[in-house]
């Protein structure tokens, strides 16, 4: 068994309102679509009121080299990760020297040595800390990181694992990409970082919701649903309209498979900690799982205030659930990502 002791989050300095984002996209995509005004209604229907960026909004109006994007990613990823970790450890009343395993998750940039190595030079982690950098799981990465932490501390119940997710989605924007996928991405994605401390049952400060079980799923012949094309201008988004359809087709049986392992049913789930990929994704979850809109209140709240921060978002939702006085019973955490894949966790607030 594992416990999620605490979650810390961090946001970059530039706040972008829905109006700011829409007007910028309108200028950037002007002349690219016959009925651009109709497409721009996506901002009104996104459920996102504001989000945050590591670069000012004017940055998006010109081309940038892959090298420039890489340098910006490396600098801001380390800074934001450090902030999230410090807040997470402060909440847990511990420090970096107690961490046995560091799982670093990101998909919006690559650095070698990986970002976790840079963090060991910023914070007093032990020299023998185990490091696991995870790349390429997209929006599912935060949930996958929690699952890998659960496995580690279950095997070593006196240990602690720190899961850190940083996504700087804005830096992947390609000004010359006038595709509909790029336009949709600009209406959803944002920058942010989160850190979650997961410990084993025998750790001296073990507390918080338990991770009772996890499940990873990958569906064949879905490689083109979500991901990146690597181009000379950087990472070009792949974003299929089929995602809500796949949720309708696959999610209920996927969740039931996880619950059957613990002899539970959907009716016994009280709390949902699901990655808010967008309003259509949340609506598809509701319809597939037979949920009332209030069941996804934590996810909607995070989407409204921060946008879709890829892998970090589910950790923001988890923080909201953990800080709510009304959270109880069993919960489901999960996210979808490239592959096309799903990462699910059964959470337990019953004791």
Q: CB-based contacts of 323: which residues, under 8 Å, 6+ apart?
A: none
Between CA 214 and CA 220, with CA 219 as vertex, the angle to 5 degrees is 145
pLDDT band for position 204 (50/70/90)? Answer: confident
Does residue 120 or residue 178 have the better pLDDT?
120
- Asked if pLDDT for residue 170 goes beyond 80, the answer is yes
Q: CB-based contacts of 208: which residues, under 8 Å, 6+ apart?
A: 3, 4, 5, 6, 322
Of the candidates 144, 190, 142, 87, the one whose C-alpha atom is nearest the C-alpha of residue 315 is 142
pLDDT band for position 273 (50/70/90)? Answer: very high
- Backbone φ and ψ for 116, nearest 5 degrees, come out as -60, -30
Given a contact cutoff of 8 angstroms between Cβ atoms, the answer to whether 95 and 197 are in contact is no
3-state secondary structure of 306: helix
- Predicted pLDDT of residue 271: 92
Mean pLDDT of 325-332: 83
Q: To the nearest whole percent, how much of the chain has pLDDT over 90?
A: 62
pLDDT band for position 54 (50/70/90)? Answer: very high
pLDDT band for position 327 (50/70/90)? Answer: confident
Mean pLDDT of 224-248: 80
- Reported as a single tens digit per residue, the pLDDT across 332-350 is 999 998 888 999 999 998 8
Q: Which residues of 311-330 are buried (b: 16+ CB within 10 A; e: fewer)?
A: bbbbbbbbbbbbeeeebeeb
Of the candidates 314, 326, 304, the one whose C-alpha atom is nearest the C-alpha of residue 196 is 314
pLDDT band for position 206 (50/70/90)? Answer: low
Mean pLDDT of 292-316: 93
Would you state the structure tokens that stand for residue 76, as one six-digit string?
Answer: 């801001």
* Dihedral sign (CA 42, 46, 51, 54): negative
d(CA 264, CA 348): 12
DSSP state of 312: G
- Asked if pLDDT for residue 277 goes beyond 90, the answer is no
**Residue pointed to by tokens 């020299």:** 127
Q: Which residues are catalytic?
A: 139
Beta bridge pairs of residue 195:
8, 164
- Asked if pLDDT for residue 325 goes beyond 90, the answer is no
Mean residue pLDDT across the chain: 90
Mean pLDDT of 150-155: 95
- Reported as a single tens digit per residue, the pLDDT across 56-88 is 998 988 888 989 999 999 999 999 999 999 999
Does residue 227 or residue 86 have the better pLDDT?
86
- Predicted pLDDT of residue 217: 94
Mean pLDDT of 35-50: 84
CATH topology (fold) of 2-200: Peroxisomal Thiolase; Chain A, domain 1 (3.40.47)
Mean pLDDT of 301-306: 95
CATH topology (fold) of 210-349: Peroxisomal Thiolase; Chain A, domain 1 (3.40.47)
DSSP state of 262: T
Domain residue spans of the chain: 2-200, 210-349
């Amino acid at each position: 068994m594992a416990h999620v002791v605490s979650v810390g989050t961090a946001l970059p300095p530039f706040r972008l309102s829905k109006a700011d984002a829409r007007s910028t996209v309108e200028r950037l995509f002007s002349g690219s679509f016959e009925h651009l005004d109709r497409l721009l209604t996506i901002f009104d229907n996104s459920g996102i009121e504001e989000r945050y960026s590591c670069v000012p909004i004017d940055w998006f109006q010109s081309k940038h080299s892959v090298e420039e994007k890489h340098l910006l990613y490396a600098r801001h990823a380390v800074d934001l990760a450090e902030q999230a970790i410090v807040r997470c450890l402060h909440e847990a009343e511990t420090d970096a020297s107690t961490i046995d395993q560091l799982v670093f998750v990101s998909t919006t940039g690559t650095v070698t040595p990986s970002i976790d190595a840079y963090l060991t030079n910023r914070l007093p982690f032990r020299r023998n800390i185990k490091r696991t950098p995870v790349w390429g799981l997209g929006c599912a990465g935060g949930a996958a990181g929690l699952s890998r932490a659960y496995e580690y501390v279950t095997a070593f119940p006196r240990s602690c694992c720190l899961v850190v997710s940083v996504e700087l989605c804005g830096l992947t924007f390609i000004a010359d990409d006038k595709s509909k996928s790029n336009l949709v991405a600009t209406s959803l994605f944002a920058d942010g970082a989160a850190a979650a401390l997961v410990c084993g049952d025998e750790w001296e400060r073990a507390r918080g919701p338990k991770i009772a079980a996890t499940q990873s799923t990958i569906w064949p012949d879905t490689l083109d649903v979500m991901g990146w094309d690597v181009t000379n201008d950087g990472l070009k988004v792949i974003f299929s309209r089929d995602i809500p359809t796949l949720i309708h087709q696959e999610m209920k049986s996927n969740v039931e498979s996880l619950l059957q392992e613990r002899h539970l049913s959907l009716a016994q789930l009280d709390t949902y900690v699901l990655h808010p990929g967008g309003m259509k994704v949340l609506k598809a979850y509701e319809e597939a799982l037979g949920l009332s809109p209030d069941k996804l209140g934590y996810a909607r709240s995070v989407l409204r205030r921060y946008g879709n921060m890829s892998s970090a978002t589910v950790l923001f939702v988890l923080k909201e659930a953990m800080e709510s006085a009304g959270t109880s019973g069993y919960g489901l955490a999960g996210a979808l990502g490239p592959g096309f894949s799903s990462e699910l966790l059964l959470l337990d607030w019953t004791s």
